[in-house]
Amino acid sequence: DIQMTQSPSSLSASVGDRVSISCRASQTISRFLNWYHQKPGKAPKLLIYAASSLQNGVPSRFSGSGSGTDFTLTITNLQPEDFATYYCQQSHSAPFTFGQGTNLEIK
């Protein structure tokens, strides 16, 4: 099974900041990597698919990069609605594992 490791597990930032979250796969997954965020009590929302493609309706301040085993989600000009928990997920092969999550908090 492919293990996904996110870092950091938590992050404090201010509105207007630029932040990055890393995700590492235990084996190569090409670009089969997706990013989600989730707010309390809500279903997760897809932000980025195929490592760097922006899902329809997602603001352009979100971007993704990477391939193989190392991936990054970057958020520029943080907005109040961006404070949430972020997850990476590999869609290369079942089981379609998630990272453990990164909690992005307001500083």
Q: What is the contact surface with another protein in residues (CB under 8 A)?
A: 1, 34, 36, 38, 43-44, 46, 49-50, 55, 85, 87, 89, 91, 94-101
For the CA atoms of 17, 52, 33, 100, what is the dihedral angle to 10 degrees? Answer: 0
Q: How far is the CB of 96 from another protein (least distance, A)?
A: 5
Cβ-based nearer residue to another protein, 1 or 14: 1
Structure tokens at 93: 């092969």
User: Minimal distance in Å, beta carbon 18 to another protein?
Assistant: 25
Residues contacting residue 50 through CB under 8 Å, at least 6 positions apart: 31, 32, 33, 34
Per the CB < 8 A criterion, the answer to whether 93 and 27 are in contact is no
| Least separation in angstroms between CB 30 and another protein | 13
11 vs 17, beta carbon nearer another protein? 11
